[in-house]
Structure formats: C-alpha cells, structure tokens
Structure 1
Amino acid sequence: MIGIDLIKTSRMKRMMDRFEKKALQKFLSDDEIALVKNYKTAAGFWAVKEAASKALGVGIGSECGFHDITISKTQKGAPKIKLSKKIVESFNVSDTSVSITHDGEYAIAVVAIETKN
C-alpha cells in the first residue's frame, strides 16, 4: 500500500508561529520534536504521518492517530517510521518505507507499507 502527502511549508510556519511548541506536540513526540530543525522539517514530518495513514487506507482519525506513527532517522540521516503495536496488529504490517522531499515552498512524503497476507 502506498500513501503520499503534500504540504505547503508556510502552513506549518504559521501554525508554529501561532502555537509554538504546542503546534508540534499535536503530531510529534518529544523525540521527534528534537529532530525538527525548522518549519520545513516539521512540514515534512507532517506529510510523512499523513502519507502513512493514507497508505493504511484510513487517514488520520480514530483508527490511526498522529502518535501511532513515529519518525526517526538512520545513522546516515534517512527518515524511517515505526508504527504502534495497535497499527501493526490491526493492519498486519510487516515493513515500511518512507521518503521525504522539499522543493520551494512544499514538502512531499511517500510511504509504502507492506502487509503479511
């Protein structure tokens, strides 16, 4: 299953300017917040979580919340995601892949989720 999301980075900038750290806490854990360099990074992380929920076929909501998806980095700095036990079991997930890119005023993320059939 594949999910994709696009966000205009200025939308994240406005949210962070208005709500400061609370804006990030809405969708990121403290460990994830520590990885955020600026509003563009935060926008990319938002896109990852939206893309992951879309790959699951449910979107962000009661079946999959922002905090069911955790973003981290490999030793080489590539993004990776971990899904909560609830999500792994509910959707029979066996593996995930993620890619984030930024261009101008946009951040885009693509997430692939493999399931055990």
Structure 2
Amino acid sequence: MSVARSISLTQAAISKASIANIRGVGIDLVHVPRIAALLSRKPAYLAKFTRRVLHENEYNRAVSMIENRERHNLFIARCWSIKEALFKSLDESRQSGFQMRDWNTIHASSPKPIVSGGLIRNDEDFFVSVTHDGEYVLAAVIRGQSDNPCDNKRKLL
C-alpha cells in the first residue's frame, strides 16, 4: 500500500469518527481589560458579578487569587470566555436555560479546562481549548455526541 493511500484511508477514518459526531462549535474572544473594568467597580458589584458568572469552585479559586489583580482578572476572563464558547456550542433550546454559574471549568485533577455541571447529557462530550496572549483570551468548545452514551467523560484538546 502506498503512503498516499495510507494517508487517505486515515483521513477518511478520522472524518467518519469525528465529524459525524460534532453537534456544536463555539468560539469566544475576551479582551481582559474589559473584564478588569467590570471588576474594578464597587466591591458590592464585584461580588454580585462573580457570583452570577462563576461556579462555586471557580469563585473559591478566584477569591484565593484576589491579591494578584492581573492573575485574578485573567482567571475570570478565562472562565467567561470558556462559558461563552460553551453557550455558543449548545442548541437554541438549551441556550434559553443557560446559567454561567451552573458550569464549572476547573478541576483539581487537571490543569486543563474540563467542562462539568450545567445541562450536560450522558451522550455528550465537550472538547475545550483555551489560550491567552497579552490582553486577549480565546476559548473554543466543540460539543460532540459520544459513541457510548454511558461514557460521561469530558475530553480535552
């Protein structure tokens, strides 16, 4: 078998295995100074905003880094961006019930973002990737249908 034929077969296998199972894609770009401006308002607003946006685990982590404003703002921008991308990956019917605070993007077992909570169905997988450069955070989420409905793992890119 030629190398070209081998590559072609591999690409076909990848297409059948992954593209057919994609149910939604979301991408979000956040300008960190915008989040910093929101967070620099009155302390009462900061508490209200973070409670509305952050899951309890994320909130506790954000509180632990409040002394380092730059790190704190970047963390909240990261959570916001992932959740916005996640929202965009959902069907319209599920977007109407979306609450940012219901979704958790951090876990002690992994430094990479893993989506949990919210309205995750047993037959869904969420692939999450996030990056930041300077004043910007970019998150991408791919929502796929699991081949095994009993397999409720969250996958990472």
- Output the TM-score relative to the length of structure 1: 0.81
Is 1:75 the counterpart of 2:109? The answer is yes
**Aligned partners of 2:55 and 2:100 also within 8 Å:** no
User: C-alpha displacement at 1:74, in angstroms?
Assistant: 5.1
Between the aligned partners of 2:85 and 2:34, the Cα distance in structure 1 is 17
Q: 8 Å contact 1:50–1:60 — kept in the other structure?
A: no
Q: Does 1:98 align with 2:124?
A: no
1:104 CA displacement: 1.1
What is the distance in 2 between the residues matched to 1:30 and 1:51?
20
Structure 1, 62-71 or 103-112: larger mean CA deviation: 62-71
1:34 match: 60
* Compared CA separation, residues 15 and 110, structure 1 to 2 (3 A): same
With a CA cutoff of 8 Å and minimum separation of 6, indicate the structure with the bigger relative contact order.
1
Whether the 8 Å contact between 1:58 and 1:64 is mirrored in structure 2 is no
1:32 and 1:93, CA in 2 relative to 1: closer, same or farther beyond 3 A? farther
Kept in 2: contact 1:96–1:112 (CA 8 A): yes
- Structure 1 residues not aligned, in runs of 5+: none
In 2: Cα distance, 1:71 partner to 1:80 partner: 5
Query: In the alignment, what sits opposite 1:62?
Result: 96
Q: How far, CA to CA, are the matches of 1:59 and 1:14 in structure 2?
A: 32
The structure-2 alpha-carbon separation of the partners of 1:68 and 1:60, relative to structure 1 and needing over 3 Å to count, comes to farther
User: More strand per residue: 1 or 2?
Assistant: 1
Which amino acid in the other structure matches residue 21 of structure 1?
A
% identity of equivalent residues: 27
User: Between Structure 1 and Structure 2, whose CA radius of gyration is higher?
Assistant: 2
Q: 1:60 to 1:98 in 2, by over 3 A?
A: same
**Higher fraction of helix:** 2
Equivalent-residue separation in structure 2 for 1:59 and 1:79 (angstroms) = 25
Residues in 1 aligned to 2:92 and 2:101: alpha-carbon distance in whole angstroms: 15
Structure 2 residue ranges without an equivalent (≥5): 1-23, 66-71, 148-157
Partner of 1:4: 27
Post-superposition offset of 1:60 = 9.0
Cα distance in 2 for partners of 1:60, 1:32 equals: 22
